[in-house]
């Protein structure tokens, strides 16, 4: 079956540090890949997505590239802010069903 494995947290960084959250997947066929974010007290919301190999999704300074050869979709940001503190979920979507990783909690300190 389909599965998503993402870097365990929690991750604590200082403001302006570089962020990487690793995500790898196992899937049949060609899934679409997503990063969702959950800010404190809010629901899950889409951060970025990529629908085919070598696509790069980007939003709010975050980027992730769909790497079919390594089945990965790592999330990166060059300079994190305190407001980026949240839980980040990597997900794949195939045949109507989305499969999520267990989430990585990021805390950014001033």
Partner 1 sequence: GAGVSQTPSNKVTEKGKYVELRCDPISGHTALYWYRQSLGQGPEFLIYFQGTGAADDSGLPNDRFFAVRPEGSVSTLKIQRTERGDSAVYLCASSLLDGGAAGELFFGEGSRLTVL
Q: Which stretch binds partner 1 (CB under 8 A): 12-20, 21-29, 74-82, 90-98?
A: 90-98
4 binds partner 1 (CB under 8 A): yes
Single out the residue of 12, 78, 102, 109 in contact with partner 1 (rule: CB under 8 A).
102
Minimum CB distance to partner 1 smaller for 4 or for 19: 4
89 binds partner 1 (CB under 8 A): yes
Q: Strand runs (DSSP E) across the chain, as ranges? A: 3-6, 11-14, 19-21, 23-26, 32-38, 45-50, 56-59, 62-65, 75-77, 86-94, 97-100, 104-109
């Amino acid at each position: 079956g389909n599965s998503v494995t993402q870097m365990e947290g929690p991750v604590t960084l200082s403001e302006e540090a570089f962020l990487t959250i690793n995500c790898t997947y196992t899937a049949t066929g060609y899934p679409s890949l997503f990063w969702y974010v959950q800010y404190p007290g809010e629901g899950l919301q889409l951060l970025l997505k990529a629908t085919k190999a070598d696509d790069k999704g980007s939003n709010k300074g975050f980027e992730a590239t769909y790497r079919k050869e390594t089945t990965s979709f790592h999330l990166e940001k060059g300079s994190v802010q305190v407001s980026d503190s949240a839980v980040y979920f990597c997900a794949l979507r195939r045949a109507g069903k989305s499969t999520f990783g267990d989430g990585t909690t990021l805390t950014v300190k001033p």
